[in-house]
Structures are given as structure tokens and as C-alpha cells.
Structure 1
Amino acid sequence: MINDKISLYFALFSHELKSPLNTIINSAKLIELNIHNSDETKIKRYLSLILSSALYLKTFIQNTIEFGRISFDREELYIEEFDIIEVLYEIVDLTKIMIEEKNIEVEFNPSQKEFYITSDPIKIRQILLNISSNAAKFTKEGYIIFTIDEKKDGVLINVKDTGCGIKQEQLDKIFAPYCSLEKRYETLCESSGLGLFITKQLLFFIGGDISIKSEYYKGTEVEIFIPSKRR
């Protein structure tokens, strides 16, 4: 069964790449056509599409690579001290790019300027990018709010959105690999079925945890615990 789903995933791989690649190519062509007209509004719009599509490709490819590492037990940790607040600001900026011109407010107002933790910054970036990508992808209007709270042995990061939400009967399945592949194949919705699976696996490697609360058509709230040592 798992081999059939792996085959389905890689069969869809080329399709997943086509849409963002076409957007990048077509937007670049439109910039070329409008560059002499000095129409800054149009050029900024096309650049936004290019950046958004490139970020989607980056996330999709990174998840595919992580899936391969996990499948073959080749995952490694690279532990160092870094500022998690700075990383979150990076993710917030990327989220603003991903929402393009949607009517969405992205908020992040931490109570402190910096907070150093000891963990794997590469994996944490991928975890947060996966969560923010979902929020940006499935929210049409409203808000995406990032918060961070200090805990005794780590930090708790919360990402709340006003997106389409998840049906209650599907909440127990969202961390399973390929949970949305069949639907993806039938409806061509933008989901490879690996994002949350990869996220949970990466959190397992760093000793963290994730929980999701969601109400269909009203929004989703994701809590991520990242264990750490203070400097």
C-alpha cells in the first residue's frame, strides 16, 4: 500500500512543479514586456507572483528531500544556539510574500526583542515554513497571527488563521503521510499531503510537539512546542 502511495506521490511530482514554474516563466515574460513602460504597479505584481511561486517550489522540494531522509533513516541534527525571534520574523516576511495581494493581515508582536534557544535552526525553519505555508494557502481573507511564549524548558509558538479550517473527522488523519494525495489527484487542490507529516517528524527529531485545533470554515490554530536551553 505504501509503495502505491509513493508511486502516486512521485507521479504527481511533475504536476506540482508545473503550475508554479509556469507562473514564474509567464510573470518574467510580462515584466520583460512592461519594463519599458515603467508601470511599477504591474511589475511589483509580477514580482510578487514570482516570489510566491518560488517559495512554494522551495517548500515543496524541501519537504520531498526531508521525506527521502526520513524514509531512509538519514535524518541528522545540527544543534546550535540562535535567536528564535529572528527566525520568526523571517517566516513572517515570507508569509507576507506568499499571501500576495490577498486581504490578509499578518501579525507578529513579540514581547521581547530576542530569545536564544539551542536546537536545530534548519529544521525549525522548515517546520515554521510548512505551518505558515498552510496558513497562507488556505486563508483567503482575515488574519494570520504568530505568537511566541516562553516556557520553562522551551518556547511555545502559536500560528492562528481565519482560513477554511479542517473538518473534525479529518483532524485525526492530518499527520499521516499522503492524507490528501487522493483528494489532490481528484481535485487538483494545492496539497502534496506531506507538509504536516514532515512537520511532525521533524519536531519528533528535536524533541518537540505539535497540536492543531480547527473549525471548518472558521480557521485553524497550530501550537508548536520547541524544547530548548536558555543562554
Structure 2
Amino acid sequence: MGSLLFVLKTPLNLIFSALQMLNSAQKNKSKEGNEKIERYTNIIEQNSQRLLRLVNNIVDITKIEAGSFTLNLQNYDIVKLIKSITYSVREYIEHKNKILEFNTDSEHKVIACDAVNIERIMLNLLSNAVKFTDEGDKITVSLDDKEDSILISIKDTGIGIEEEKQEIIFQQFGQANKSFDRNNEGSGIGLSIVKSLVELHDGEIRLNSEYSAGSEFIIELPAKKISEKDNSTANSNKHQTQNLTNKINIEFSDIYEL
């Protein structure tokens, strides 16, 4: 409970402080005052998104633990889906002077999945990769078709995770390192949600990491399909992403701009 209260209070405190500073800046009509207004408005927006992300995660954790969280499984071309999600954050990652690559050994692979939650899984893992890499580091998303399953790898050349910390990162409020500065802080909820969403797909997620040598998260999803009768989406191979920019902003809200 203490961890939960802390992660909720942090964005609320930042929003409250920014509102106070914004109120003060609005009294200053100079260029400097306008710049401060923009800065504090951005802080409020980012931490509002961060708070929304936390609340969404907590609600979903509660549903998953109660057994009431259900997936909307449809047949999707997982290669196109993952490629689309990866490229949607390319501009953001390159703006931070980091390298993003996408590789696949198969051009098409149709499997049954919940595209919205696959998107959520990928954005969470990509945001972690951005968070724990420096300028010039590389983030690589790869797909490997194993016929009966599909492997999705999110690999980075960042700081990596110490071996003794790797067991706890998928636990609720488990963080690899609580000593990182504010630019790298997070709630410790995201990877718990990721693991649960992967397992709801009858898949598994594993971690390969070496401290100071980067990390690789590998998701394995079964290559199963649902019948055409159950596949209610008229054109299931077209992933219709609504408000993708907003979703990216929410999932990447723990990454602070300085």
C-alpha cells in the first residue's frame, strides 16, 4: 500500500507544484513569463498522463487478479502490427538521438491476438528501452517466425539489469534499481501488466540482461488462429489505431524532458 500511495502522490505533487508556478508566471506578461507558462503547462500535461497511466494499470491489475479481464482476440498479421507500432515511436526515439531498428525473418504471420493490448505491451517495453539507454544507444525490435509460435524481441544497448534484480522486475512495484534519477523513475507496475497481458495470450515473456551491457525482453506468442466465425473484424489485418499519439504520450509519460 505504501508503494501504491507513493507512485500516485508523485505526479499529483508535481501537478500541484506546477499549478502554483503557473499561477505566478501568468502575472508576468514578458517573454520569460510566456516560456514559464509553456513549461509548467507541459509538466501538468505530462504528469496528468502519467497519473492516467497509473490509474489504468491499477484498474487492470484489479481486473486481472479478479479474473474479469478479457481479451478481444482477432486474427491479425502480427508482423505488420509490430512493425506499425515500432515505427510509430521512431521519430520520438530518434529525437532523443537514439537508434531504432526493426528486423523480421517473415513478411507475414497471422495469429489470434488482441491488437490493442499488443500495442500496450510493445509501447511499455519500448518506453523502458528508451528510459534506460543513453544517446547513441540502439533499440532493436525483431520478429522470429518459429512456425508454431512467434518470437518478438525488444533489445537495447543500455545500462542492463543486475542479475539479482532480474527476478523482481515482473512483480508489482518491482524495480530493477530504485536509485535512478528522476528521468528514469517509474511506478514498477508496467512490467507486471505486460507479463499478465502476455500470459492472457497463452504466451510467455523472458528477460536476458547483463548489467552495463543492455537488456532483451523476448515475448513468445502461440501461432494460433480463431475461426472466421469468431473473427468478427471485417478486415482484421488492418490495425486501426485510434489516438496513437495520445497512447504513446501516456505510455512514455515517465520519461522526463529536461
**TM-score under structure 2 length normalisation:** 0.66
Q: Structure 1 residue 139 and structure 2 residue 122: aligned?
A: no
Unpaired segments of 5 or more residues in structure 2?
32-42, 227-258
Larger Rg: 2
Q: What is the rounded CA distance, in whole Å, between the counterparts of 1:163 and 1:227 in structure 2?
A: 29
**Which of 164, 172, 177 lines up with 2:167 in the alignment?**
172
1:97, distance to aligned residue in structure 2 (A): 4.5
**Which of 150, 154, 157 lines up with 2:149 in the alignment?**
154
Higher helix share: 1
Aligned residues: 212
1:127, distance to aligned residue in structure 2 (A): 1.5
Q: What residue identity is the alignment partner of 1:147?
A: S
The answer (yes or no) to whether the contact 2:78–2:111 under 8 Å persists in 1 is yes
Q: What is the rounded CA distance, in whole Å, between the counterparts of 2:222 and 2:97 in structure 1?
A: 34
**CA 1:57 to 1:13, structure 2 compared with 1: closer, same or farther past 3 Å?**
closer
Q: Structure 1 residue 80 and structure 2 residue 74: aligned?
A: yes
* Worse overlay, 189-198 or 83-92: 83-92
Q: Structure 1 residue 119 and structure 2 residue 119: aligned?
A: no
1:148, distance to aligned residue in structure 2 (A): 0.3
Higher strand share: 1
Aligned CA RMSD, in angstroms, stands at 3.9
**CA 1:11 to 1:59, structure 2 compared with 1: closer, same or farther past 3 Å?**
closer
1:46 counterpart residue number: none
Q: Structure 1 residue 201 and structure 2 residue 196: aligned?
A: yes
Q: What residue identity is the alignment partner of 2:114?
A: D
1:217 counterpart residue number: 212
The answer (yes or no) to whether the contact 1:181–1:192 under 8 Å persists in 2 is no
- Does the residue aligned with 2:150 lie in a helix, a strand or coil? strand
2:247 counterpart residue number: none
1:221, distance to aligned residue in structure 2 (A): 0.9
The answer (yes or no) to whether the contact 2:166–2:176 under 8 Å persists in 1 is no
Give % identity. 31
* Worse overlay, 151-160 or 104-113: 104-113
The answer (yes or no) to whether the contact 1:98–1:136 under 8 Å persists in 2 is no
1:131-187 Cα distance to aligned partner (Å, 9 max, x none): 111101111131000110111222101111011110111011111111139937x96
The answer (yes or no) to whether the contact 1:155–1:226 under 8 Å persists in 2 is yes
**TM-score under structure 1 length normalisation:** 0.73
Q: What residue identity is the alignment partner of 2:113?
A: S
Q: Structure 1 residue 65 and structure 2 residue 59: aligned?
A: yes
Unpaired segments of 5 or more residues in structure 1?
1-5, 35-48
The answer (yes or no) to whether the contact 1:83–1:115 under 8 Å persists in 2 is yes
The higher-RCO structure (CA 8 Å, 6+ apart) is 2
2:39 counterpart residue number: none
